[in-house]
Amino acid sequence: MSALPRILVIATGGTIAGLAPSPAEPGVYAAGVVDAPALLAAVPALGELAELRAEQLFALDSSDLGPAHWIALACRVRLALSDPELDAVVVTHGTDTLEESAYFLQLAVDTVKPVVMTAAMRPANALSADGPANLYDAVSLATAPGSASHGVLVTLGGTIFHAVGLRKLHTGRLDAFAGDRRGPAGSTNGPELFRPPPAQRALVDPAALTELPMVEILHVAAGSSPALLEAALQAGARGLVLALPGNGTVPQAWRGPIARATAAGIPVMRASRCGSGAVGRHPDDAALGTLAVGDLPASQARVALMLALARQQPALLRQLLAAP
């Protein structure tokens, strides 16, 4: 009989490691309380899937994770995957900023070994906690031969997503996430991947990054003042992502300020405030100097822009936005 796969589980906190004062009221809880060994111990069946190691990297609500944490996580994942004694990595994370961390890992980790992220919508002691099943699915997916060379995969609620285009669409449902316009990448029934791996994306070495430039997302509502754009630039933003109405429609009042910003060398990206759907190229992009985000949600477009600015490679940004 062959040995079980060897997997490192890296815990970063989040709801999956949260505890509520009352299991019957899971909406109020402290995130990141349960440590990595305890997360594994709560799912004894994991021992039938793999030989697991547990490591606590952070113990935070994911709303408190930022670029410095992304860099540290990517460096740790890369180091783990360079270990010939390890076959895959599973990362537990909070749901609130899962889409940003997953996308950063996709761009910063170059490996054929599986990298799977998971999370939970309910704390660990909720009456119907979803974390144990999600963790089991993540480890199962990480051991599946078909998971190799798919880049970063994310699984919650029985569904598998590619990191690129991932977005959280609901505040409380167990099926809170969606993929890009093409839908999920697969199902944990098997597990089965029914979409091909994403096209090769430009990669960055996180060890070469000490920090990422400031990029802000501005939510543009009906009648929002373009003074918000000027305020963000005065605060030090080196790039902007605009979460615009509909298909990235630019209000008339914003056209002049946007054109002046791009003429001054500030990259401005057109995204949508809608929960799903792509933002394609438009004549406004040529007229205003903007760049459409394509399939990326505003949160991931911000990550792409931060990396392009850090590397001083505008072509990198266009490559990341290219349709798969």
Judging by beta carbons within 10 Å of its beta carbon (0-12, 13-18, 19+), is residue 255 exposed, middle or buried? middle
- Among 150, 165, 193, the domain-final residue is 193
Q: How far apart are CA 13 and CA 284, in angstroms?
A: 42
Residue 201 covered by a domain? no
Closest CA to 15 of 6, 27, 25: 27
SS3 (DSSP) at 121 = coil
Q: How far is CA 293 from CA 100, 233, 270, in A?
A: 15, 20, 6
Residue 1 covered by a domain? no
- What pLDDT, on the 0 to 100 scale, is given for residue 75? 97
Q: With 70 as the cut, is the pLDDT of residue 2 above it? A: no
How many residues can be counted in the chain?
324
Residue 202 covered by a domain? no
Task: Tell me: do 46 and 138 sit in the same domain.
Answer: yes
- Indicate the average pLDDT of the chain: 94
Instruction: Please indicate whether residue 15 is annotated as part of the active site.
Output: yes
Count of the separate structural domains present in the chain: 2
Task: For residue range 60-108, list pLDDT tens digits in order.
Answer: 999 999 999 999 999 999 999 999 999 999 999 999 999 999 999 999 9
Find the domain containing 179 and state its range.
Answer: 6-193
- Whole-model pTM? 0.95
- 12, 15, 92, 143: the active-site residue: 15
Task: Tell me: do 127 and 220 sit in the same domain.
Answer: no
Task: Tell me: do 56 and 116 sit in the same domain.
Answer: yes
- What pLDDT, on the 0 to 100 scale, is given for residue 1? 44
Task: Tell me: do 48 and 170 sit in the same domain.
Answer: yes
CATH number at residue 28: 3.40.50.1170
Task: Tell me: do 157 and 256 sit in the same domain.
Answer: no
Task: Choose the weakest-confidence range: 130-144, 198-212, 240-254.
Answer: 198-212
Q: How far apart are CA 12 and CA 178, in angstroms?
A: 22
DSSP assignment of 273-297 equals SSSS--B---HHHHHH--EE-BT--
pLDDT band at 141 (very low <50, low <70, confident <90, very high): very high
Judging by beta carbons within 10 Å of its beta carbon (0-12, 13-18, 19+), is residue 157 exposed, middle or buried? middle
pLDDT band at 153 (very low <50, low <70, confident <90, very high): very high
Task: For residue range 271-303, list pLDDT tens digits in order.
Answer: 999 988 999 999 999 999 999 999 999 999 999
- What pLDDT, on the 0 to 100 scale, is given for residue 197? 84
Task: Tell me: do 21 and 117 sit in the same domain.
Answer: yes
